[in-house]
Amino acid sequence: MRIMASNSGCIKLLLLATIILIGLSSSHAQPVLPQRSISVSATQSMHFGTFCLTGSGGGTIVLGYDGSRSATGNIFLSALSPTSQPAIFDIKLCQGRNVAITYSPTTTLTGSNGGTFTLDIGPTERGASGAWFPVTTDCNFITTVRVGGTLHVPGSSPAGIYSGFFSLTFDQQ
């Protein structure tokens, strides 16, 4: 009988140790990490509208991220279509993280009849290059980023359609 009692005690001790180990393994488990995927879609291209040079000197056209447009120098802004519009990017990011936006400060636009313009990118409605901004925690919500710029038009530029590309980088925190 005494041997059985010892064996019974060992079994109880072994069972207790197993419960403790199970408890320890579950209490130290890693939490499920939140989704870290980000998607960005360019939904509208930047357009400075119709304009013309009124003399041999050049000038600039400033396009705000809100779509406003102004000119300096020898540039006449026409009300003819197509009208001016900022570039628009839609960002979808779950778990409400901060996002940094960065971009090259300038790019070159090439004309269909020769000639080049310089485009200074920005600012955006979320700030200048390097700025951080928060996005919502709703995975179905889209955060919009509008981008404006300043177009430098040299004097005696040939008429035509000028086009080019720029890129933005969105980095989640």
Composition of the chain by helix, strand, coil, percent to 5:
15, 45, 40
* pLDDT tens-digit readout, 61-82: 999 999 999 999 999 999 876 7
Amino acid letter at 64?
G
pLDDT higher than threshold 60 for residue 146: yes
Residue 32: band (very low, low, confident or very high) from pLDDT cuts 50, 70, 90: low
- Greater model confidence, 2 or 96: 96
CATH code of the domain containing 73:
2.60.40
Domain that holds residue 13: 1-30
Q: Are residues 42 and 119 in the same domain?
A: yes
Q: Are residues 104 and 120 in the same domain?
A: yes
111 CB neighbour count, 10 Å cutoff:
16
Distance CA 104, CA 96 (A): 26
User: Does residue 9 come out as left (phi exceeding 0), alpha (psi in the -120 to 50 range) or beta?
Assistant: alpha
pTM: 0.74
Least confident of 5-9, 27-31, 58-62: 5-9
95 CB neighbour count, 10 Å cutoff:
15
Domains contained in the chain, number: 2
Q: Are residues 52 and 73 in the same domain?
A: yes
pLDDT (average), residues 156-160 = 92
Q: Are residues 69 and 20 in the same domain?
A: no
